[in-house]
Amino acid sequence: MGNLFSVSISMQDSLPGCKGGTALRAKYICEFEENIKALKEALEDLKDFRNDMKRKVEMGEGQPMEQLDQVQRWFSRAEAMELEVDQLIRDGTRETQKFCLGGCCSKNCLSSYKLGRKLVKKADDVATLRSTRLFDGLADRLPPPAVDERPSEPTVGFESTIDEVWSCLREEQVQIIGLYGMGGVGKTTLMTQVNNEFLKTIHQFDIVIWVVVSRDPNPEKVQDEIWKKVGFCDDKWKSKSQDEKAISIFRILGKKKFVLFLDDVWERFDLLKVGIPLPNQQNNSKLVFTTRSEEVCGRMGAHRRIKVECLAWKQAWDLFQNMVGEDTLNSHPEIPQLAETIVKECLGLPLALVTTGRTMACKKAPQEWKFAIKMLQSSSSSFPEDNDIFKEDLIDCWICEGFLDEFDDRDGARNQGFDIIGSLIRACLLEESREYFVKMHDVIRDMALWIACECGRVKDKFLVQAGAGLTELPEIGKWKGVERMSLMSNHIEKLTQVPTCPNLLTLFLNNNSLEVITDGFFQLMPRLQVLNLSWSRVSELPTEIFRLVSLRYLDLSWTCISHLPNEFKNLVNLKYLNLDYTQQLGIIPRHVVSSMSRLQVLKMFHCGFYGVGEDNVLSDGNEALVNELECLNNLCDLNITIRSASALQRCLCSEKIEGCTQDLFLQFFNGLNSLDISFLENMKRLDTLHISDCATLADLNINGTDEGQEILTSDNYLDNSKITSLKNFHSLRSVRIERCLMLKDLTWLVFAPNLVNLWIVFCRNIEQVIDSGKWVEAAEGRNMSPFAKLEDLILIDLPKLKSIYRNTLAFPCLKEVRVHCCPKLKKLPLNSNSAKGRGMVIYGEKDWRNELEWEDEAAHNAFLPCFRSW
């Protein structure tokens, strides 16, 4: 039995270096099949990794990679490795077929040993190749959906047009489709419905892209929108030039069948300039765009032009009834007939019908409907489309134009104005762009102007060419019947003609390159009530402007005027005068300000410089100006610049000035060491505080004062180790401290709970923004969290700044931080929960960012994506 079988091994077949072979080397044979299996698994892992990395690279195609050549070499090595492994696995499989004893013993040990060793070595090589870190910088991202569903509402009366567009998308001969029609007719709504149809229908396209072009197209913005859809828009992408972006987009879209929707095209848009391949029968891609002009359809090379028409009467009436509701329409017998009048005024415009219908849905008194009709028939829209409009400026215009005359007091008129703005926002007739600002959508603006100008009763009473790129005035022969004119935001440099405008009430010339106004320009405008010349280069006003005795509103802010002449006294009906940021203004004669007895709003923030002359209210740090303000019995809103301690003290002795000051600019307080700012508590309407160029000011403290006690100290610096009384500056929202070289902290800011914007600039001795030791005792037992409403924090050129606040803060509203030249600021008061969900951005130098210390690794990881280069 012992000789049942035998194995003969010759010496040439023995393992090298050892007659019987060692256990280690024997494993190459004994575990041969396990090694083949391990190599197969390693190969599959490598293939999966390679495919994942190819997908990542394709998703990030066009993004610059620092080691691009190495990446390409890695893929080449991986492909070569796969071929080698496949061959080795095949060889190994054949070798196992030669094994005997149930696959446990090789007939040729030397051959099996060599091949087994190759299997193990190759598995190690595969693992090494798989462990590369070349791709660590590529993010794991899912591809974007082929189609994004866009918010929409059910359309009325457009079903056949939608079907026509969809039919064109299926035609091989039609690649470019233009939808044209007047503003507000529903072009965007219609195209949105077509976009969303792709989610319901089987189609041949790889990707559907939507881009808004607008009147002044920004090619790079268009490129960014496209790249967000096909790739991703990060800092590397944003650093590319426009041409580089175009090449990347062209390379990607050139491989795809795409549908591109371009919304709001005003002129021919060069597709190739931004990298969009021209749709043709070879690439089977499509372009659909909206425009107001059939001519643009021709310039864009549209193969099919589809006009989007206004609704017919029945469709318009049905839509309006749906918006208003039966309950309102049946609330009074007069309302149905008044509703028909409004529908006729809307002339079939869907957006006009929808927005007006929503506005009237809660109006059940006939008087409200009659007022709405009057407003539709005499629209006074004068601002450029999508332009930010300061709410208070808008209300001041309404007051001065007499729209809010039913109120005897300004506060009542302002409240009504804010109520109207709120109603317009809720009705989608205005959009709230920021807290203090609104803007009018271009469609709504066009609707208002179109209705007003097409209605026979007010035709030719409006001349609006705001933001139209004008370099000269429109033909003045057409001005005779105009009541309201807006030429703002153009490039007009000179007013050299003398127009005849007997009915003109409102004239907007602001935001032009205006330098010269000829004598006589205002001569024939006897009824002018509102005049805006702001943001221009005007340095001198023509003399006849002072004969505009009807003038109620005059805006000269951000101009170059150097003096206000005595003739200003003639503007006896002036209610609003804006001189903000007239930094070259050096002369205002005495008794000019006090003579404007009807003045309700006076804005002089950042106004003037050092005035000279005895008869000049700006010559003594503005103390004489303060005295004259006391004579303005109707003054309600004041922005003021103070340049001396005595002038400030005079302000604080006046309940009138304290009560109406909104923006306060303190500058050039030379010789002043300490300022007790407890007085801010009495300025109940103070919104903005700017302190600048106070070279000796070393302390802003809050000690509180007894009645009659001076709050200003110029003798010695008061070294207050802590704040001894708790104040609340509830109205204060914006603070800027600039070029105050001796200040060491701004601890008092903790008592401004509604602070939104904080700028600290060129203050070389600031060490802490908030010194906790100064206020912790006063705040004991109080639930106080600094900067709870702060949105913007700007820190520039503060060489000694070490700390903003000793502890981390929630910063629930923080949007933007900018830090520049603050080398000792090594830590921000942020943890991983700070500013959560706000999408905050932090601007700063790269070296500063790299040296920052963080609360923990979670905080570092949370804010690392927020950084941007300064």
Q: So where are the chain's domains?
A: 15-130, 159-307, 316-454, 465-543
State how far the Cα of 240 lies from the Cα of 245, in Å rounded to an integer. Answer: 6
CA angle at residue 119 from 116 to 124, to 5 degrees? 135
| Helix intervals (H) in 231-361 | 235-238, 242-253, 271-274, 294-299, 313-324, 326-329, 335-346, 350-360
Amino acid 590: pLDDT? 93
CA distances from 517 to 308, 520, 561 (A): 44, 9, 12
Q: Which of 362-376, 386-400, 578-592 has the highest mean pLDDT?
A: 578-592
Amino acid 710: pLDDT? 46
Three-state secondary-structure class, residue 599: coil
- The 10s digit of each residue's pLDDT in 631-650 is 999 999 999 999 988 899 99
Is the CB of residue 617 less than 8 Å from the CB of residue 643? Answer: no
Amino acid 422: pLDDT? 81
Supply the pTM of this predicted model: 0.59
State how far the Cα of 401 lies from the Cα of 638, in Å rounded to an integer. Answer: 20
337 has a pLDDT exceeding 90: yes
More confident site: 707 or 786: 786
Q: Which of 427-431, 682-686, 759-763 has the highest mean pLDDT?
A: 759-763
Per-residue pLDDT, averaged over 366-382, amounts to 70
Helix, strand, coil percentages in the chain from 3-state DSSP, rounded to 5: 35, 15, 50
Per-residue pLDDT, averaged over 93-113, amounts to 63
Amino acid 708: pLDDT? 36
State how far the Cα of 24 lies from the Cα of 680, in Å rounded to an integer. Answer: 87
Phi, psi of 842 (to 5 degrees): -120, 115
Read off the tokens for 805: 């606040």
CA distances from 782 to 65, 726, 749, 750 (A): 53, 10, 16, 12
629 has a pLDDT exceeding 70: yes
For all residues of the chain together, what is the average pLDDT? 82
Amino acid 120: pLDDT? 79
Per-residue pLDDT, averaged over 191-202, amounts to 88
* Residue indicated by tokens 């892992």: 45
Diameter of the chain measured on Cα atoms: 136
Per-residue pLDDT, averaged over 777-797, amounts to 78
pLDDT band at 705 (very low <50, low <70, confident <90, very high): very low
Amino acid 22: pLDDT? 55
Per-residue pLDDT, averaged over 590-618, amounts to 89
> What percentage of the chain has pLDDT greater than the value 90?
39
More confident site: 158 or 589: 589
Listed range (129-138, 322-331, 547-556, 719-728) with the worst mean pLDDT: 719-728
Q: Which of 60-64, 219-223, 259-263, 296-300 has the highest mean pLDDT?
A: 259-263
Read off the tokens for 141: 């991202």
Amino acid 15: pLDDT? 43
State how far the Cα of 211 lies from the Cα of 226, in Å rounded to an integer. Answer: 7
703 has a pLDDT exceeding 80: no
Residues 6+ apart with CB under 8 A from 96: 32, 33, 36, 103
Amino acid 26: pLDDT? 61
**Given this chain, do its domains 159-307 and 465-543 carry the same CATH topology?**
no
Domain topology for 465-543: 3.80.10
Amino acid 491: pLDDT? 92
Amino acid 18: pLDDT? 43
Phi, psi of 680 (to 5 degrees): -60, -25
pLDDT band at 579 (very low <50, low <70, confident <90, very high): very high
Three-state secondary-structure class, residue 844: strand
More confident site: 658 or 55: 658
Per-residue pLDDT, averaged over 688-696, amounts to 95
CA angle at residue 343 from 505 to 384, to 5 degrees? 40
pLDDT band at 782 (very low <50, low <70, confident <90, very high): low
Sheet holding 389-390, edge to edge: 389-390, 437-439, 431-434
State how far the Cα of 611 lies from the Cα of 644, in Å rounded to an integer. Answer: 12
More confident site: 580 or 230: 580
CATH for 159-307, options being 3.40.50.300, 3.90.79.10, 3.30.565.10, 3.30.230.10 = 3.40.50.300
Amino acid 583: pLDDT? 92
pLDDT band at 709 (very low <50, low <70, confident <90, very high): very low
Per-residue pLDDT, averaged over 161-180, amounts to 91
- The 10s digit of each residue's pLDDT in 475-515 is 888 888 899 999 998 999 999 999 999 999 999 999 999 99
